[in-house]
Amino acid sequence: MKKEDLIALCHYYRGEDEDKCPFSDTIKARLWAAEMMTCTYFIQSINKDNPKDDLHNMVFAYVSKWDPYTFRDTLDEYIKVAKPKQEIINTYYD
């Protein structure tokens, strides 16, 4: 998968440089970082047959690993915007 194709599926990251996050809001900045990391460093983990679900799963995994105590506040925002499959949500919320 091309990076540009994956970026098109993102809700916060639009291809900015790693140090050019456009968000001052902490939650949006965290989600931007998760999408940026997926598109920049973990793109090889994205399955070409189902990139949207893989992107959502990678964002959930990144946020929950990076912020294990308050990750739900961040992911609640992502759920509203990205509308991931319920099975992805259940993996991290159960």
10-residue mean pLDDT profile of the chain (94 residues): values are: 96 96 95 97 94 97 91 96 97 88
Geometric angle at alpha carbon 10, from 39 and 84, rounded to 5°: 110
The CA distance from 86 to 94, in Å, is 11
Q: Please report, for the chain, the start and end positions of each structural domain, with discontinuous segments joined by +.
A: 3-93
* Nearest Cα to Cα of residue 78 among 24, 9, 2: 9
Enter the pTM of the model: 0.94
The CA distance from 88 to 45, in Å, is 16
